Structure 1
Amino acid sequence: MFEYLVGLEVTNNQIYTQYRNAMTPILKQYGGGFGYDFVVSEVLKSAVDVPINRVFTIVFPTKQNADRFFSDDSYLAVKAEYFDSSVAHTTIIAGYETA
């Protein structure tokens, strides 16, 4: 399995929820899913200078599946419609193989 640990600054929860609902069927086509999902109220230490108020893991069977998902035209259309207007910053905290 391949997993990303991601931090976001979500600026519009309603639109971000629409993004999650619209992208999930596409994510599942690539064998992907969410492992953990947290709303963060306070960040005590960060390696970046942008705010983070949401942290989650997104998992795929392989890194290649992740790459194909993130470049899929249907996903990119959903991202343009919902994600770009609801998220101010994205921080990829880590990407790694899991057992």
Structure 2
Amino acid sequence: MSYEMLVGLNVLDDVKYEEYRSAMKPILADYQGYFGYDFKVSEVLISPDNAAINRVFTLNFSNKGQMEGFFSDPQYLVVKEQFFIASVGSVSIISSYDKAD
């Protein structure tokens, strides 16, 4: 069993967002996390909150506790502040769930 999130973003600055990804991946790995699928999308047909989305991906962890630890890690929060905030206009957590491996 693992834990997976399906996330939609509105990326405003691709270069800065890739810097975020590069900086956060070692921290993500410390929490047994990794990206599964990753898509750039051009059109959203239905969205309950009408948020713009141009990037959709899955984020996987060994369990929910590891996911919570990652998102509250002080090093991650510095990386988020430095790169993520300026590069992403909106975040939509589409779903999160326990996943049978």
TM-score normalized with structure 1 length: 0.99
Distance (whole Å) between structure 2 residues aligned to residue 69 and residue 38 of structure 1: 22
Displacement of 1:14 in angstroms is 0.2
Displacement of 1:97 in angstroms is 0.3
Amino acid paired to 2:73: D
In the other structure, the counterpart of 1:98 is: 99
In the other structure, the counterpart of 1:22 is: 23
Correspondence 1:36-47 to 2 at 5 A: 36-47=37-48
Distance (whole Å) between structure 2 residues aligned to residue 75 and residue 5 of structure 1: 19
Distance (whole Å) between structure 2 residues aligned to residue 77 and residue 68 of structure 1: 14
Distance (whole Å) between structure 1 residues aligned to residue 68 and residue 51 of structure 2: 25
Amino acid paired to 2:19: Q
Residue ranges of structure 2 left out of the alignment (5+ in a row): none
Distance (whole Å) between structure 2 residues aligned to residue 77 and residue 47 of structure 1: 31
Displacement of 1:58 in angstroms is 0.1
Distance (whole Å) between structure 2 residues aligned to residue 69 and residue 31 of structure 1: 9
Indicate the SS of the match to 1:64: helix
1:51-87 Cα shifts (integer Å, max 9, x gaps): 0000000000000000000000000000000000000
Residue ranges of structure 1 left out of the alignment (5+ in a row): none
Aligned-residue RMSD, C-alpha: 0.4
Displacement of 1:37 in angstroms is 0.2
1:6-50 Cα shifts (integer Å, max 9, x gaps): 000000000000000000000000000000000000111111121
